[in-house]
Amino acid sequence: NAGVTQTPKFRILKIGQSMTLQCAQDMNHNYMYWYRQDPGMGLKLIYYSVGAGITDKGEVPNGYNVSRSTTEDFPLRLELAAPSQTSVYFCASTPRDSNYGYTFGSGTRLTVV
Amino acid sequence: GENVEQHPSTLSVQEGDSAVIKCTYSDSASNYFPWYKQELGKRPQLIIDIRSNVGEKKDQRIAVTLNKTAKHFSLHITETQPEDSAVYFCAASYSGTYKYIFGTGTRLKVLA
């Protein structure tokens, strides 16, 4: 039982490049989330999913896209990377709804130069 | 709108002293209140949570209290140790919703 696995751990992108941040969980959790955390700041919700095939926007969705084709996987796509997207990205999951504790992945540290 | 205020933003205590972090929520329908600890460069990790049908919950040196009337809840850490140094986030949510409302975080420093 690995929990929530995120890849890669670190990445440097050039402005305008695209990439996909991977997130997988093996706990059969229905709800999954993507957050970003800027240095010294709190967690901002980018996108979330309540089950396979269902996704919705959070507080800061611009510049990102997601998909949820299976219960296990919830990739985050960055198109046309900008310096403002330099951040640490955390994926999280919870069994049913937000009335349970989140399990976070170890994060992806992204730098856009 | 929904809001969770967290205070203080930074807190320094001497090793062995107690630390208290307070959060106030706005949505009276909130019924689940988790606390997360985030060490430097690490992921947030759930350390304790409380549901609205309970007034207090303890787990060794940490405890959480909830006052539903005043809509606030607090994290108490006793006999602090250097390894307690971290950022602590509170959150509030209610059944059937998709997300938490996180507080802004408290940076706790335990001075040896």
Tell me B55's DSSP state.
S
Nearest CA-CA distance, residue A107 and chain B, Å: 7
Length of chain A: 113
Scanning B20-59 for CB atoms below 8 A from A yields 31-32, 34, 36, 42-46, 49
A56 contacts in B (CB within 8 Å)? 98
B62 interfaces chain A, CB cutoff of 8 Å: no
Of B34, B43, B100, the CB nearest to A106: B43
| pLDDT category of residue B69 using cuts at 50, 70 and 90 | very high
* pLDDT at residue number B1: 64
Q: What is the pLDDT of residues B3-51, one digit of tens each?
A: 899 999 999 999 999 999 999 999 999 999 999 999 999 999 999 999 9
CB B92 within 8 A of CB B4: yes
Buried/exposed code over B14-23 (b: 16+ C-beta within 10 A; e: otherwise): eeeeebbbbb
Query: Does B43 sit within 8 Å of A104, measured CB to CB?
Result: yes
* pLDDT at residue number B102: 94
**Coil, strand, or helix at residue B83?**
helix
Q: What is the pLDDT of residues A23-76, one digit of tens each?
A: 999 999 999 999 999 998 999 999 999 999 999 999 999 999 999 999 999 999
User: Does residue B95 have a pLDDT over 80?
Assistant: no
| Residue A95 CA to its chain's centroid (Å) | 17
